[in-house]
């Protein structure tokens, strides 16, 4: 059984944890304030869920979702994530995150910034360009008409395929955008950001970027 760890258990982390449990995964949730603050979420999620510290969630999971404000990236545990697939949902909002020079200068992408912090992990950007309410409510089985498509980028093609498979299980199609260097195509201020579209519409928006 695959266990998914969550570093961050807010709007996106909580929503993804609910979806993961509903699809048969075990989850370990964590936040900055400690496991005691996650009792309500764990009660709601049931027997498949437990709360932990970020380091424990990272160490105990097969794959880990980092879903926090970008300003918190430097605090993400490194050793516990070595060799693991890490899904990055993060978006950069300077009014929330403060100014981060490498992002302001365009020296890397938002997910490239996390990948630099986690050099021995395989970072895949996903779930960043959908509103959490839509993520929680608009998933449908594969083959359903007008199924929404998300976007996926990462430097390891096998890791991208694994995340595309997970997204499919959770109710969405996905466009493979390629390496992290291309992930700006679905960052904030681009047509694919927050776009509710099917595979063809999302593919078109990514190409327009
Ligand atoms: N909301 C959306 O619709 C949406 C959609 C796509 C992507 N995103 C992006 O996804 C990320 C998460 O968004 P969100 O809306 O879920 O945020 P949120 O509701 O504010 O939740 C943030 C979570 O991160 C945790 N956190 C903060 N600092 C931490 C640290 N140093 N270590 C561990 N956990 C930490 C918070 O825990 P505490 O409360 O204990 O600090 C909280 O559980 C952001 O980058 C956001 O831009 C959001």
pLDDT at 30 over 90: yes
Can you give the pTM of this predicted structure? 0.99
- Distance (angstroms) between ligand 1 centre and the Cα of 143 equals 31
Q: What is the pLDDT of residues 115-161, one digit of tens each?
A: 999 999 999 999 999 999 999 999 999 999 999 999 999 999 999 99
pLDDT of the residue at 44: 98
pLDDT at 168 over 80: yes
Q: Do residues 197 and 149 touch, judged by C-beta distance below 8 A?
A: yes
Q: Give percent of the chain above pLDDT 70.
A: 100
* Domain spans, the chain: 3-208
pLDDT of the residue at 106: 96
Closest ligand 1 atom, residue 12 Cα: 16
- Counting Cα atoms < 13 Å in the Cβ hemisphere of 28 gives 19
Indicate whether residue 89 lines ligand 1 (CB < 6 A). Answer: yes
Instruction: Name residue 125's beta-bridge partners.
Output: 88, 153
CATH of 3-208, picked from 3.40.50.720, 3.20.20.120, 3.30.70.940, 3.40.50.150, is 3.40.50.720
Closest ligand 1 atom, residue 33 Cα: 40
Tokens of 157: 């093609």
DSSP 173: E
pLDDT at 1 over 80: no
Indicate whether residue 193 lines ligand 1 (CB < 6 A). Answer: no
Q: Do residues 50 and 21 touch, judged by C-beta distance below 8 A?
A: no
Indicate whether residue 161 lines ligand 1 (CB < 6 A). Answer: no
Q: What is the pLDDT of residues 55-70, one digit of tens each?
A: 999 999 999 999 999 9
């Amino acid at each position: 059984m695959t266990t998914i760890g969550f570093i961050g258990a807010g709007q996106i982390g909580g929503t993804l944890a609910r979806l993961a449990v509903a699809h048969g995964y075990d989850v370990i949730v964590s936040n900055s304030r400690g496991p005691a603050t996650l009792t309500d979420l764990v009660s709601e999620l049931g027997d498949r869920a437990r709360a932990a510290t970020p380091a424990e969630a990272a160490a105990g999971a097969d794959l880990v979702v980092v879903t926090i404000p970008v300003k918190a990236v430097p605090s993400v545990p490194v050793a516990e994530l070595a060799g693991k697939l890490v899904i990055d949902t993060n978006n950069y909002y300077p009014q929330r995150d403060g100014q981060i020079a490498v992002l302001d200068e365009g020296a890397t992408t938002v997910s490239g910034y996390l990948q630099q912090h986690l050099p021995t992990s395989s970072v895949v950007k996903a779930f960043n360009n959908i509103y959490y309410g839509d993520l929680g409510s608009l998933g449908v089985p594969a083959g359903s008409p007008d199924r929404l498509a998300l976007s996926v980028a990462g430097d390891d093609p096998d890791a991208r395929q694994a995340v595309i498979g997970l997204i499919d299980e959770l109710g969405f199609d996905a466009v493979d955008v390629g390496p992290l260097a291309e992930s700006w195509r679905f960052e904030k201020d681009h047509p694919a950001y927050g776009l509710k579209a099917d595979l063809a519409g999302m593919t078109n928006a990514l190409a327009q970027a």
